[in-house]
Structure 1
Amino acid sequence: MTQVAYQINDRRNKEVLKNDEHWDLTTADQKLALYDLHRFGYRLLFVRNMLTGPVAVISQQDDIAAIYADGEVDLRPKITLREYH
């Protein structure tokens, strides 16, 4: 299954969350995984709430990865980011 993640306001024109607000949406397992990946240059882009729980979308330069609610890291997720123009 391919997930589409939006890097800007979604189509409902909700307010864009700040990075610390996204951080607050992550689970403890996601925070631990991101701490480990931070030393390799990964940073939190945003969090999306899915039916299976929150998905933290992270990046390192042009590489996108996902951390699922249980802390599992997917370095090759099927996520498409929409470009903001």
Structure 2
Amino acid sequence: MQAQSRQPIIERRQEPPEQSVWWEKLSLAQKFSASSLGKFGYELSFVRNENGHSLAVLTCQSGTAVISEDGEIDTSPAIKVR
């Protein structure tokens, strides 16, 4: 009887956005918008505070998106992510 080699198990689950340390820093409107973008592969990377306003920065393979405090999504932001 020939032993079958087992393929390594690949973990495909990702951390839910609610587990992110950044998630708690989002406004309710930003959370709704971030959840919508999550369906397209975007992940919350960090939250930046500019001029007293929160700006959520999300990334995916196709690029970067930002969400303003009031939930407005910009998928072509003028922001550089290092």
Percent pairwise identity: 38
Which structure has the larger Rg? Answer: 2
Q: 4+ residue runs of structure 1 moved beyond 2 angstroms?
A: none
| CA distances 1:19-75 after superposition (whole Å, capped 9, x unpaired) | 722111111000000111111111100001111511000011140010010000000
Query: Where in structure 1 are there 5+ consecutive unaligned residues?
Result: 1-18
SS at match of 2:21: helix
TM norm structure 2? 0.71
TM norm structure 1? 0.69
Q: Bigger relative contact order, structure 1 or 2, given CA contacts below 8 A and separation 6+?
A: 1
Residue number in structure 2 paired with 1:44: 44
Residue number in structure 2 paired with 1:60: 60
Equivalences, count: 64
Q: CA RMSD, aligned part only?
A: 1.4
Q: Which has the higher strand share?
A: 1
* Map 1:23-34 → 2, pairs under 5 A: 23-34=23-34
- Separation (CA, whole Å) in 2 of partners of 1:81 and 1:42: 14
